[in-house]
Structure 1
Amino acid sequence: MDYRPQTLVLASSSRYRAELLGRLGLPFEIQRVAVDESPLPLEAPLTLAQRLSVTKAKAITHLSGDYLSIGSDQVATCDDRLLGKPGTEAKAQEQLRFISDKTVSFFTGVAIWRPARAMLDCRVVQTRVRMRNLSDCEITSYIAVDQPLDCAGSFKWEALGISLFRSTESTDPTALQGLPLIELAQMLRDQDYRIP
């Protein structure tokens, strides 16, 4: 009979992912990892999200024993342009103007790596967000309230950013925030974690 790993580790520095994983009610550790997130030449967004999720999960190498590492990454695109974290208000304004009245595709990968058994599982959830036609005034006001400078696409859907949408389409709404809990919960059940 399989038994669950002794330790569950989130390989991430994202407070959003930590908050989401906490919703499952399982004890876990957080290990910050540094990974080059640059896309490879001609790399598709889905492939990039998958590769970075696996790389992050496997970046935890200093632990011993039977542990399970979770890595996740999200790639946002619109009109074949990658949308990163803006970092500044000026870049957030430019990004929101660019995606106004368009559809943004988010590819959110999640990987679990169990080195004691050389077990790897990775899945990617796609979310499509159709944006409203945003005025410059709305964009400026929104950024001032939500400060979405650390969010791909320059909005926080779990906060006021939802007001910028016309609609969303996804099999897992938590994927948009950065960690697809429906997929992850099934992956953890496969490793003998009881949820709930």
Structure 2
Amino acid sequence: MKLILASTSVSRQKILKKFNLAFDCVAPDCDETPYPNEEAINLVQRLSRIKAESVAKQYANRIIIGSDQVGVLNKQIIGKPHTVENAIKQLQACSGKTIHFYTGLTVMHTGNQQSITVYEPFSVTFRHLSLAEICAYIEKEQPLYCAGSFKCDELGITLFDKLTGEDINTLIGLPLIRLNKILIEMGYNPLLQSNHT
């Protein structure tokens, strides 16, 4: 049984490598546009499921892992900034506030058609940030393709007062503790697999 990560995200690949098992990465075919008035939790669960399903169609007897994440500030979904100007605005808006992140996770076993979809919450409380700190951070780390304009597994940690959640991997993009539990439920225990099989 081989794992397939329905993602080309370098961060998610780095997290999944912690299991010390071989896996393939396949880009999912997924329109990530939210539905009108779609709640963040529903959005991440729907998109993680679509990502997994789009890859599952191509493979027999595999375990497919799909994931999606959004951040929410003042009931508004936070996207990727794409530009320095937008990143500055995002971090100014986050300064001194708590951002709630929701990560959807779908695990599909294409052998027996078993599928489980869940979400994991994680909250980040930002320090009060000066414009100089924000600009220095963006220049050093270039987080233009990260929701919320930060990389928490790198220098982004300097922006925070507090992190609240069960698994720091969730914030990076893949809730590994929850994934491990689901894999065991499906009869695939990462500890009992041969390395790199």
Q: Residues 48 and 66 of structure 2 are in contact (CA less than 8 Å); yes or no, is this contact kept in structure 1?
A: yes
- Within 5 A, what are the aligned runs for 1:1-196? 6-196=1-191
Q: Which amino acid letter does the alignment assign opposite residue 157 of structure 1?
A: C
Q: Report the TM-score when normalising by structure 2.
A: 0.93
Distance change (3 Å), C-alpha of 1:64 and 1:143? closer
> Which residue matches 1:3?
none
Q: Which amino acid letter does the alignment assign opposite residue 128 of structure 2?
A: N
Higher mean displacement: 119-128 or 109-118: 109-118
Gaps of 5+ in 1: 1-5
Q: Report the TM-score when normalising by structure 1.
A: 0.93
Higher mean displacement: 150-159 or 108-117: 108-117
Q: Which amino acid letter does the alignment assign opposite residue 130 of structure 1?
A: T
Q: Which amino acid letter does the alignment assign opposite residue 89 of structure 1?
A: V
Within 1, Cα distance between the matches of 2:109 and 2:180? 16
Within 2, Cα distance between the matches of 1:62 and 1:125? 26
Q: How far did residue 24 of structure 1 move?
A: 0.8
Q: What secondary structure sits across from 1:184 in the alignment?
A: helix
Q: What secondary structure sits across from 1:192 in the alignment?
A: coil
Q: How far did residue 61 of structure 1 move?
A: 4.3
Within 2, Cα distance between the matches of 1:95 and 1:11? 28
Q: Which amino acid letter does the alignment assign opposite residue 167 of structure 2?
A: D
Q: What secondary structure sits across from 1:23 in the alignment?
A: helix
Q: CA-to-partner distance for each residue in 1:41-75, whole Å, 9 max, x for gaps?
A: 11111111111111101011453421111000001
Gaps of 5+ in 2: 192-197
Provide the identity percentage.
Answer: 38
Within 1, Cα distance between the matches of 2:9 and 2:59? 24
Q: How far did residue 192 of structure 1 move?
A: 2.3
Within 2, Cα distance between the matches of 1:61 and 1:167? 38
Within 2, Cα distance between the matches of 1:64 and 1:81? 37
Q: CA-to-partner distance for each residue in 1:61-96, whole Å, 9 max, x for gaps?
A: 453421111000001110011111111111111110
Q: Residues 56 and 108 of structure 2 are in contact (CA less than 8 Å); yes or no, is this contact kept in structure 1?
A: no
> What is the number of equivalent residue pairs in this alignment?
191
Q: Which amino acid letter does the alignment assign opposite residue 20 of structure 1?
A: I
